A and B are shown apart, each in its own frame.
Chain A
Amino acid sequence: MDFGWTEEQRLWRRAVRDFAQNEIAPRVREIDEEEFIPREIVAGMADVGLLAPTVGEEYGGAGADWMMATIAAEELGRADISLAVPVLYLVEAAWGFIFYRYGSSGLKQEYLPRVTRGEAFLGIATTEPGGGSDILGACRTRGQRDGDRWVFNGEKVYISGVRESLDWGGIHLMLARTDPDEDAGHRAFTFFALPLKGTGGVIPTYFDDMGRMGISTGGFALDEVRLPLEHQVGELNKGFYHAMEGFSAARTLIGATCVGASEAALAMGMDQIKLREAFGRPIASFEGVQFPLANLYTDLEGVRLSTYKAAWLMDQMYRHGAATHHDIALAAAMAKLKAPRLGFSIMNEVADWHGAMAYTKECPIEMGIRGIRSYSIGAEGTPNVMRMIIARELLGKDFLPTLYTNKS
């Protein structure tokens, strides 16, 4: 057991913090109001190596391991509690890795260098109007072979980065049913790299979000969309496995980002309670204020460690073959279950400490509350879905609720 950091990790955290605190933190309100991340921030992230760093160097990435990716997620969360910049970062780091692992080499050559330079966006599209939790049951998007093309019809909703992809170019990894046989179970779905920009038959929509305003949420309908065969990502009818692998990665980074944002909120809160006085003393000296701080800090430290452990397990698996997808799914689900909810509680408490000011836009905490709610509601999986995964790992898949639904 070693709770220390390697030299590389220590220098990386400092580098990301330095960049993020100088270039991102002062502009969070502007990002939230203008509803986009300024191009110079994205370009700066590219220079530091913050865009899809998990992709190999041959495609402009850094071949970063998951601990390094996690450190960056935490520091970006600390700098931008609205979570817009962290979302851009973590979606690309997690799903870019899946594309790097399973995409065709021609397409990787076309997109990944642009993604790592900040000139293209890379996202994920699984959710449909019928639902996100029941990822397969709700998947009505069909992919059919027609000679040397795949043809798609369907619709995806609540997809991060639709506007970015249309503006900059890029791809979304899209899950589609490729085997019409209802008995094929979860072996009926395949991933495809879908460029939203310039592809005929893609009809985009947008949602007016509650928070993390700097990155768009949208959707798209697919009307006879035709893509060359090389757009298939990974094996035919194995999309579910690739999706689970990507979700584990994304959830670990979400844990770290929420931890970073929570740490920033607590730091802000501590400054406030030390300065603010009531009844002739700093409010930090009241038990009613300092005990919640102690509790929240303790909970946060626990979540922080479990997030690091998830990252560590991922490195154990990918680098040393010493952990399984099950270990990772469990660890990542625990981090994703706890971190956003805890972050939400922390931000609410910190808002209380600020009194009325917290309810104004003079105080950044409201951006944090609006932002972190996206992850506690369920971007990349709802809390109940995390509980289902944890229970599946504990009880075995014989007790999966979906087994019973499908039987009846």
Chain B
Amino acid sequence: MHIVVCTKYTPDSEAKMSVDEEGNISWGDSPLIINPWDEYSVEEALLLRDQHGGTVTVLSVGPEAALEALKHAVAMGADEAVRVWDEACAGSDTLATSYVLAKAVEKMGDVDLVLCGKSTIDAQTWQTGVALATRLGWPSLMYTINLVELRSEERSITVERLLEEGRQVVEAPLPAVLGTTKGINEPRYTSFIGIRKAAQMEYPLWTLEDIGAEREKVGPQGSGVRWPEVFEPPAREGEAEIIEAETIEEKARILTEMLLAEKVI
């Protein structure tokens, strides 16, 4: 089994975002971390590897800072890590990023399964995984909450997807792209031995040429999304009301009436 995990670096989840006059986004001096949702993918990949054998490769499209995400995944236990970057990739949207990811996965050649997190905590588009599956022409198994069974001999997989209305069990042939979601597992912490490996390992850098990607399909010119204006959302206004009553039951009754009146419930 060759399992690839796509991962991205993001600012720490406690970082505060700000936007300046020119529309530049800043996350202050927040430390960079692996996108927290990707930790579930790395964990699931490690569990699968331990069960079925094989290798786990983590893949990230990004500048040098992307090494933070790769190192974290290696420190968790991933075997290999690849970074793809070219200055031309800066400003890519999910359309362009998924193109680069697909090219990198195709270059690897022998991939059985690609795992992605459900979204990134900074951009929150929820699109990259689906886009990657479409580009590769592989089944897309997004929002997987439970990996029921992987049959490596038969080259097929059964997963349980978390949908708004409930759960759905689906079966798909391999190779496939699987999007994990919170609850699928409990990601492990990085370990001393893993960190030693992560700190000493070489992280190969693949260029656009290496993966055979066309320049016009990456960066802003390869992107479908434009950002005409970026601004800080206006501060939220609202009123707080404290419900006064003798008993907790009475308070609950008043609250329910108010919520019904406002048509919230």
Contacts and interface: CB of A to CB of B under 8 A. Distances in A.
Interface string B70-84: 010001000000000
Given A11-B71, A11-B75, A64 B199 contact: no
A20 to B, nearest CB: 10
B227 interface: no
Nearest to B197: A8
Contacts of B196: 8, 62
A64 B192 contact: yes
A134 interface: no
A231 B71 CA distance: 42
The majority secondary structure among interface residues of chain B is helix
B199 A48 contact: no
B193 A62 contact: yes
Interface string B1-31: 0000000000000000000000000000001
A15 B75 CA distance: 9
A5 to B, nearest CB: 11
The winner among B189, B198, B200 for most chain A CB atoms within 10 A is: B189
A47 B198 CA distance: 16
A393 interface: no
A57 interface: yes
Nearest to A57: B193
Given A11-B71, A11-B75, A15-B75, A49 B199 contact: no
Nearest to A7: B199
Contacts, number: 44
Contact of B189 (A6, A44, A53, A62): A44
A7 B199 CA distance: 6
B191 A49 contact: yes
A190 to B, nearest CB: 32
Nearest to B67: A7
Contact of A12 (B188, B192, B200): B192
Interface in B159-201: 188-193, 195-196, 198-200
A15 B193 contact: no
A204 to B, nearest CB: 33
Interface in A173-203: none
A93 to B, nearest CB: 12
B189 to A, nearest CB: 5
A68 interface: yes
Interface residues of B, number: 14
A47 B191 CA distance: 7
A18 interface: yes
B189 A11 contact: no
Contacts of B192: 12, 15, 48-50, 53, 62, 64, 68
A64 B196 CA distance: 10
Contacts of A12: 192, 195
Contacts of B195: 8, 11-12, 15
A206 interface: no
A19 interface: yes
A136 to B, nearest CB: 36
B191 A11 contact: no
Contacts of A62: 192-193, 196
Contacts of A11: 71, 75, 190, 195, 198-199
Nearest to A50: B192
Contacts of B75: 11, 15
A402 to B, nearest CB: 40
A6 B191 contact: no
Interface centre among A6, A49, A50, A53 (most CB of B within 10 A): A49
Nearest to B74: A11
Nearest to B71: A11
B121 to A, nearest CB: 16
Contact of B190 (A7, A48, A53): A48
Interface in A27-60: 44, 47-50, 53, 57
Given A11-B199, A62-B196, A48 B191 contact: yes
Interface string A1-18: 000001110011011001
A64 B192 CA distance: 8
Residue of A14, A18, A64 with most chain B CB atoms under a 10 A cut-off: A14
A395 B192 CA distance: 41
Contacts of A7: 71, 199
A48 B71 contact: no
A177 B174 CA distance: 69
Contacts of B190: 11, 15, 18, 48
Contact of A49 (B71, B193, B198, B200): B193
Interface in B75-120: 75
B189 A18 contact: yes
Most buried by A among B31, B192, B193, B199: B192
A25 to B, nearest CB: 14
Nearest to B31: A14
A19 B200 CA distance: 22
A68 B192 CA distance: 9
Interface in A288-321: none
Nearest to A15: B190
Nearest to B195: A11
A8 B31 CA distance: 16
A70 B245 CA distance: 55
Interface in B194-236: 195-196, 198-200
Nearest to A8: B199
A385 B226 CA distance: 70
Contacts of A68: 192
Given A11-B75, A12-B192, A18-B190, 7 more contacts: A7-B71, A7-B199, A11-B195, A48-B190, A48-B192, A49-B192, A50-B192
25 contacts: A6-B199, A7-B199, A8-B196, A11-B71, A11-B75, A11-B199, A12-B192, A15-B192, A15-B195, A18-B189, A19-B189, A47-B188, A47-B191, A48-B189, A48-B190, A48-B192, A49-B192, A49-B193, A50-B192, A53-B192, A57-B193, A62-B192, A62-B193, A64-B192, A68-B192
Interface of B: 31, 71, 75, 188-193, 195-196, 198-200
The 4 closest A-B pairs by CB, nearest first: A49-B192, A8-B199, A62-B192, A15-B190
